[in-house]
Every structure is written in structure tokens, then in C-alpha cells.
Chains A and B, each alone.
Chain A
């Protein structure tokens, strides 16, 4: 399924965004916090209506297509799912069939097998009877992915799907997503993962597209400096993919004195899953 975003404006969040996500390819959306990634995804899955511009899936304007019709082809793993859901995991996963249900709303045997299979694939079968609310963040994320798979989408939209996942599940999720062979539109904060998982990257900053192209062309030291305002070192690995190092300053950094304890100011913070190399203390 081909996705075309054409000149989309929305409030002050999105400014003239155009991009194409090719059929069967994994397109990554990256950009700093507040750059409009999630809003753009919401325009694609018909949650928000652009003020101007349009979103086409296989040539059809999503806002001229009935919601149910869109949901039969587009599945979403969004960032904020209610944490207070009393329903069991199995029930939440089965909700994915709703756009496909007939008037009676009954699941066929094939659909029930599909639900079981999706739970197996996402390794949540063991949690089937647990109330969703009692799961950890990573488990919830996997349940949501299983629910999205049950929808049998042709376009899968993932908003920060690796949040809360440990490294193994991050890798498994992205590998699974690639193996599905459907069109994928995904936002990721982890540039290293994004570079490895996506065929193409689109960079948003301040609500507009600032770069769009093959991974190796997009992830550069210049981009990190211009868009993320970090001084990073980007090298090429043997696979041609970028390796990103985010050097953190040692003690004596730039924390306001009032926040620093015993003068031991300075970033000993963490930098996500990036390789971190620390400069020697001066």
C-alpha cells in the first residue's frame, strides 16, 4: 500500500508536509520532540483532519473514505494507550477484528486462530488472561502490536513502538515488522535503530520536512547538529549503516549551580541506547 502525504498543514504543528511511503517499504519518521511526527501519523490514520493538504492511501483520500474502510487497511500502535484497561490481554488483542466484524459481531474460527497466532508471535500468549492494566509497559506495547497484527493491515503505523521495550524485544519487534512485508510508517527516537530498521528516513523539524532519503544519506553529523543540536560522531559500519556516538561531557559540565549537588555538576546522564563515549574530566 502506497501512502502519499501532500502539502499537509495542521494548526501550527505541521507546515506543508509532503512525503511518500512506498508500498512494502519501511519508512521512518525521525525528528526532535515536538517536531510533529505523531501529529503527522494522526493525519494518516484519520485521527486529525489537516487544515490543508491531503493524505492518500493507494490514491484514495483518507478523509473521503469511511473510517471503517480505512481501519480495515491501516493498523496503528499509538503511543498513549489507556493504562487502566480492565479487559484481558486476549480480549484487547481480539478488538483488532472490530473493523472486519459483520453485523452479528461474532468471530469466526479462522479469526480466533488469527488472534491466537498474533499473541504467539508477539509473545503474549502467556499473558492471555491477565488484565491489561497489570502489565508492564513493554508487555502492553507487545499486546498493542498483536492487536494491530490481528487487523491484518496493509499499512502499519507505529508511533515509538520500541518505547519501554528491552533491547531484545526492540530488535525482535523491528525484525518482525520488516518481515511482515506490509507498508510501515514508524517514528523512532533511536537513530541507530531507525537506521537499521528503515529503508528510508524522513526528518521532521518544526513541523516541516528537512531531509528525506536513504538512511546513509540522512543520518549525518550535520543533521544531528542542525536538527537535534548535538555534536555527534557518525561513522559508517561495514554494512554501510551509520554508527552514532554521542559524547557526554564529564564532571564540570553546564548545570546551573543551584541544581548541582556538592559542586559535582555535570552530565552523567544517559543517552538512550546510543554508544556513549565520555570525554575525560578536565
Chain B
């Protein structure tokens, strides 16, 4: 360390902003707005393509025309009606859109939880929040209650997620700190227990409304209707926008509670709010798509590898990437075993488990990337 007088050299190469990754040596990285535009365009094309794919395949051009007419009726001619239009507009489209919303929501929740809990393995499915949400939803369906109208289901799932969260955090706390390994262990235990209770309830109830045990443990988007899409879309959009606005303090949390405090972050308040928002997203998402695992784990890590750990980029890029991933995973769920469907969680688990193991090994070694 040289004394202050000599330390005035300004390097020609300026450092990246907070949270930015070390730049690649060549410096040839697509700028952040470019990445967003590219991903958004890719998502747009994927939505149209995904609507065309299923047991009944419909050409891309036809789908585009039907959607175009629906969106811009003065510009695009009336497309042929009939059963294909019903499939596209009333069955596939809400399902594909919901897939995108769920994927985005899960990815954002994963990115936020990993920062808030300072744990690379944090994922609502792994730490029990998703199963808590399932249980909350099932209990309300079983009781036949709907005190808040159409919001009853997401709200009860939210309550379940919060309860599971609180339990897991209480169990993993040691000396005022959440111990990373205990978080995962407590989460797995709580997830197993709540999932068992959910399965028991579902399997012993003749009530068809309660949906299947398979849905709650492995997720699924089949049977999605337009009315299922609105609330999750709003919640995910609002939560994503809010999380982006809290990205700088989230970056500061990497320094630990002490360090973040000294950077002006009200750590406890921020953590509480972020966890509540995450639980809200988990509740609304799980209520309509069941327990889809590993998306929240995989997507943020993949994005980090590609574009660094700055939450100001990670959250929006993760949202779009998560949407993209889930849209295509859902296509695979419809297509791989035609005419039957594979639960969506089977595919995400096949993709995600190796990821989880890789992270586990790396955390174990204590060696960063």
C-alpha cells in the first residue's frame, strides 16, 4: 500500500460497475440492453412457435396470423376459425403465456433468494417454500373456502409458502445467522413433510377440485385457462420490477450483514421484505403450476456464468431466460410422450439435478469459480 500522495495513478482501463463481473479479456460482451432485446425477441418467437407445437401441430405462420389478428385486427386479416383457432387461442396460448410467467417468476425468486440468503443452493422447491405453498392451496381447496374470491387460492398458497419459509429459517438459524448447510437440510425436511401431508390429503379426497398429487409435486400447465394467467402475470411483473429496484442493496448483501449495513442497507428490513415478496410470487406461481423444481436454481446460475453476478442485470436477464426455458420445457412436456403429457417437473429435475450436484461439489470444495 503506497501512501496517499503517490496513489494518484488512474488506470486507463476503468473497472466495471458494482456487481459487474470481471470483463472478458477480449471485452467483446454484448451490452446489457442488447442482451435484453435479444432475449425478448427470442421469447416472442418462442411463444408463437410453442403455441403451434403439441399433439396437434399448427404451422408457425397460421399461429402468427391468428395471434396477429387478435392483437392488431385492423392490420392482419381474419384467420381461419374452427377447432384450430380454439386450440390456439383458448387452449395453447394461455398455457404458453402462463409458462413464460411461471418461468420468469421462478427465476427471479431464485436470484433474489440466493442473494438474500447468501446461499447458492437456495431454490424455493429445495428449501420447502413450494411445498408449503402447495399445502396451503390444497387445504383451502379442500375446505371449499374462497374468502377472497379468485385470490383465495394464491393467497392461501402464499400463506403456506410464508409458513414453510419461517419454519425453515427458524430451524436453520444458529447464533443469529442462517447457516448455509442447515438451511438446505431444514428445507429438505420441511419439503418432505409438507409434501407427504399434501399427497395424503389429495390421495384420500374424492374431491376432483383438489387436483392430483402429481400436479402438486411435479407441476404442470395442462388445462390452463385465461383466468389463470392474469394474477400471476401481474404479481410476477410487479415483483420483478421491485426486485430490480432493490438490486444494488442485494449486491451489497454479498459483503455479509455487517458489510451491507456499513453501505447503508437496512439489512433486516430488506431481507424480510424480499422474503415476503418471494413467498408471494411462489404462492401465486405454485397455485397455478404446482411444484416445478430447479428452475429457480438453474436459471440464475446459468445467467451468472454468462453475464456475471450483478443483480441489476441478473434479475431482468434471469426473468427472460426463465420464461424462455419454461416455455420450451413445457413444449417438451407435451411432445415427448404424445398424446400423454410428462409432468413438467420431471424435465426440470432431469436438467436441474446435475446442476445442483455441480454447485454442491463446488461449495464443498470451497473453491469459487
Contacts and interface: CB of A to CB of B under 8 A. Distances in A.
B222 interface: no
B252 A95 contact: yes
Given A99-B263, A123-B1, A176-B1, A107 B258 contact: no
B261 A95 contact: no
A133 B256 CA distance: 13
A86 B309 CA distance: 9
Nearest to A79: B258
A48 B205 CA distance: 51
B353 interface: no
Interface residues on B, range: 35 or more
Interface string B101-118: 000000000000000001
Contacts of A85: 254-255, 368
Contact of B256 (A68, A82, A173): A82
A176 B22 contact: no
B337 interface: no
Contacts of A122: 1, 7
Contact of B263 (A84, A98, A121, A125): A98
B147 interface: no
B261 A67 contact: yes
Nearest to A134: B368
Contacts of A129: 22
A75 B259 CA distance: 10
B9 A88 contact: no
Contacts of A90: 15-16, 22
A5 B159 CA distance: 44
A179 B21 CA distance: 32
A117 B8 CA distance: 6
Interface string A99-121: 10100011101001101110111
Contact of B254 (A75, A80, A82, A128): A82
A18 B273 CA distance: 35
Output the residue of A75, A86, A87, A121 with the most chain B CB within 10 A: A87
B9 A70 contact: no
B-side binding surface: helix, strand, loop or mixed? loop
Given A76-B262, A98-B252, A99-B263, A180 B18 contact: no
Interface string A112-151: 1101110111110100110101100000001001000001
Contacts of A15: none
A29 interface: no
Given A116-B11, A134-B368, A91 B3 contact: no
Nearest to B23: A129
A69 B265 CA distance: 10
A70 B8 contact: no
Contact of A81 (B259, B261, B312): B259
A47 interface: yes
Contacts of A88: 21-22
B366 interface: yes
A93 interface: yes
B1 A113 contact: no
Contact of B369 (A42, A101, A109, A131): A131
B252 A117 contact: no
B11 to A, nearest CB: 4
Interface in B1-29: 1-5, 7-11, 13-22
Contact of A99 (B8, B118, B264): B264
Contacts of B5: 179
Contacts of B251: 95, 98
A81 B255 contact: yes
Contacts of B259: 76, 78, 81-82
B63 to A, nearest CB: 38
B14 A112 contact: yes
B319 interface: no
Given A71-B262, A80-B258, A86-B368, A121 B15 contact: no
A198 B17 CA distance: 35
A243 interface: no
29 contacts: A46-B261, A47-B261, A67-B265, A81-B259, A82-B256, A82-B259, A85-B368, A88-B21, A90-B22, A91-B18, A91-B20, A92-B254, A95-B252, A95-B263, A98-B249, A107-B18, A109-B14, A115-B15, A116-B9, A116-B14, A117-B8, A121-B1, A123-B1, A128-B15, A129-B22, A131-B368, A151-B263, A175-B3, A176-B1
| 4 nearest A-B residue pairs (beta carbon) | A71-B264, A121-B7, A76-B262, A68-B264
Interface of A: 42, 45-47, 66-72, 74-76, 78, 80-82, 84-88, 90-99, 101, 105-107, 109, 112-113, 115-117, 119-123, 125, 128-129, 131, 133-134, 142, 145, 151, 157, 169, 172-173, 175-176, 179-180
